[in-house]
Structure 1
């Protein structure tokens, strides 16, 4: 017996799971009130804070790339605001009772930007990629084989049940490329340039200047928007010019002077400046993991639980967030963020369960043998200073003033006797450096609207390899209890089972001192009053420019 789905309201994979996603549906974000009736035409100039390091969504789950790719690529299914899934490039799908076989019926009449047709064979090319490229982030999806049934039907067979497969197919992490592109270009070429990002979406790439800007133009042939959007047919905007401007004041200056219609990543301390200029600030909390510090328990002194807990209790998270962000960012209490689906996954009992305890931190260090203090004020054990190596991905330190926060955390830890050395690495080398296991600390955040992604970074299978790969377990943590809980989260179709397992992981991480949650990331966008139709996805990032319009 098979279950057939057009809207998928009853299956635990969808509404029952309450899954949301950084998907092809979004939540309107217009706190400034009614912008009026949408009109077609115009060029939107958008200043992004960073240029994506990789353009291929299957390779690295980069939210910066997703914010652009979701306008270029359509997704196989689309997610509505109520958590159900609607037709996208697939008009319907059936799932076998054992959860291992998915049969997708595909939309007819869809073409890629290069004029080639979308069909089952092309979809197979895209879904076969993780079978042939083991370093893709999508390898973890569990696809074992894809079979073309006919021109508009594809069967996907899994090696194991995956409770979040439909969810994954609703996100930009699965960009569906033209078959011509996949046949004639290497994976490295796809990753290096958006000029090969040829999809079926509402916008297509017109120009790209590395290090400077990307220009998107409307796809006038677009006539297959999911019903989750606000209109049908082509996008409103003629063009979108995305400029990559890491300097905060340059972005804000461009917005206030009218050079930009919208800017990404308004720092919290600059919100009054933007609002004071009569402009609009749009905010949306992320789901997934918070910004957190991962501790490597395999390397001394963090092989001692007391030292790990002392490290956490020596950090005045509230004070540092107030100083760096003026309280705009809220403290994160767990490695799973509030509102991460399914509803209830975040364990509210962890609120106020830990905090800044400097005296107790000293007691724990002394129990661990750090009873002496050297001339510079650092704790010492057996003649060895309590020194920690903090590896940093230099690209993402531009986000949310994380460089400033990291330096403040490192400096404040001296009071407890920790010496913290922060070492930046280029993004291309970062994961490979972590795989060597010579670091004590690393930091990360993962925006994704499913609890599985908030647990995956702490599983053994996510430990990075020496050649980089897609491993995101930056603390190199291997804990059987967490692995077992993730197995339930990843395979069960019962929402409560996934929720209960997620809570086990959250407690385990905090009880053992494997990570220090810092803050709840949020998307903060500034726009002029001429911008209407702006949307955020469930993960808290800009979804697509499809419904965005400009007052003329």
Structure 2
């Protein structure tokens, strides 16, 4: 079977204006195309091998795409985002925005119940949306919500301290899981984060069984009858159950699907695509939006306090050659810290394509201008008796994604050619942000999927710098730059598409011109499935949106 590459349209900027009748996530998949004339069948268990277990299950706490791809089947969103980028009703049937852009009033469905049988209403939604007000370490505090007011049983007003052009989009993502009020009342935030058994939402599937480090079993919510119109059917999901096994070993996942032990596997490595296709299986792809996989440089610490050294570092990396070697050219090189297709349309600055690249000779010249004129007996550059050594901190969990450990080691090794010594130090996810906040690192890598340009600029703002007591910030380079902060202020507040696009381009050019980060590749979701799997969907970010429309050919 030929490999299908999924291409979903960019989000329309009209969505960001918050016009009533706007919605959600979803998009046609290759599996849908294959089964265009087939009739969906109810029943069966889908066995899905995921590459990692989410480190945290609470979407508000850590914006983990691994968690999102599971939580989107357990939790409904307030708003839904359609494949054309517009927003439509989810748990909210309608919404209005005040003239000053500071008050959002949501009218809610009156026929929804949680998995525990308790009703969904404005009081419960208030509990959920008040969480970042009461828990300042949540990732969602950046949305600027300061107060919520229950207008009546099914109407909630959300008040902001500043305009937030991306709020409607934020409410359309699994970053805002809407928990049962009973769960929020009876359990601590730490408990929500630790186990999906407390992930009690209103979604098409509910948690049946969980074995930490091994698997999660979801079962169909038989009462589900409030799917957004963005989906392909109404009523309960087709599948009886979904068994998600956490299998970080690539060959174990490949072996499972080729042997019939799995119906679908996550994160097929590019070098394994021929093997999967050769077994007669489907390979489904979707490029991510948001930020690429990039390496952030810490400009507060020598030698990266010198712009020449930062630029030399970037020029010394043969990204094209490394991508060919590690990924067989399946991943495209990234030219900016904002990915193509990230909404609003046009936010990615196309003038940055081919504006920089590998030039070892230029890198050497820049290093010599910075005073690194000597080379020691091991081939490393030296200045004032100090070797040009860089400390690269890595999150050990995410190094399993996309063979990033192999790629990182290849980058570090290649940098020796121009005289950089790179030392990679792994940390577990819990300690990673705290260690970065100490400011003792030179390099840290990341990627962040999100279908709005604000999230591709936020990781480079002062307000996103990790704190020493929690480390939850995502500005891994500890960058504080007035030009970028000013651009982000416009991006996050303006409802004018042209203003947001222009500000996004200012930020992208500043990051590239100053060498604050090195974009490496465009991440993509690559899923392998058997021919019996139909209805697979990806969201606008490029990750599995839900198992709701998935069905198995009997």
Aligned to 1:501: 503
- 1:462 and 2:455 equivalent? no
1:11, distance to aligned residue in structure 2 (A): 5.2
Q: Write the distance in 1 (CA, Å) between the matches of 2:16 and 2:148.
A: 21
- 1:28 and 2:24 equivalent? no
TM-score, normalised relative to structure 2: 0.96
Match of 2:347 among 345, 359, 363: 345
Q: Write the distance in 2 (CA, Å) between the matches of 1:54 and 1:476.
A: 23
Q: Which of 530-539 and 24-33 deviates more? A: 24-33
Q: Write the distance in 1 (CA, Å) between the matches of 2:313 and 2:471.
A: 29
Q: Write the distance in 2 (CA, Å) between the matches of 1:45 and 1:467.
A: 40
1:85, distance to aligned residue in structure 2 (A): 1.0
Q: Write the distance in 2 (CA, Å) between the matches of 1:289 and 1:349.
A: 17
**Please, which runs of 5 or more residues in structure 2 have no aligned partner?**
1-10
Conserved? CA contact 2:13–2:345, under 8 Å: no
1:505-551 CA-partner distances (Å, limit 9, x unpaired): 11100110000000000000000000000000010000000000001
- 1:279 and 2:281 equivalent? yes
Aligned to 1:240: 242
Conserved? CA contact 1:101–1:157, under 8 Å: yes
Aligned to 2:305: 303
1:348-368 CA-partner distances (Å, limit 9, x unpaired): 111100001100100000000
1:454, distance to aligned residue in structure 2 (A): 0.3
1:223-263 CA-partner distances (Å, limit 9, x unpaired): 00001100000000000000000000000100001100000
Matches within 5 A, 1:379-528: 379-528=381-530
Q: Write the distance in 2 (CA, Å) between the matches of 1:403 and 1:497.
A: 38
Count how many residue pairs are aligned between Structure 1 and Structure 2: 541
Q: Secondary structure at the match of 1:535?
A: coil
Matches within 5 A, 1:69-148: 69-148=71-150
Q: Write the distance in 2 (CA, Å) between the matches of 1:258 and 1:397.
A: 28
**Root-mean-square deviation over aligned CA pairs:** 1.4
TM-score, normalised relative to structure 1: 0.96
Aligned to 1:13: 16
1:153-195 CA-partner distances (Å, limit 9, x unpaired): 1111100000011110000000000000000000000000000
Q: Write the distance in 2 (CA, Å) between the matches of 1:232 and 1:65.
A: 25
1:245-289 CA-partner distances (Å, limit 9, x unpaired): 000000010000110000000000000000000000000000000
**Please, which runs of 5 or more residues in structure 1 have no aligned partner?**
1-7
Conserved? CA contact 1:15–1:84, under 8 Å: no
1:121-144 CA-partner distances (Å, limit 9, x unpaired): 000000000000000000000101
Q: Write the distance in 2 (CA, Å) between the matches of 1:104 and 1:495.
A: 23
Conserved? CA contact 1:203–1:219, under 8 Å: yes
Conserved? CA contact 2:380–2:388, under 8 Å: yes
Matches within 5 A, 1:181-330: 181-330=183-332
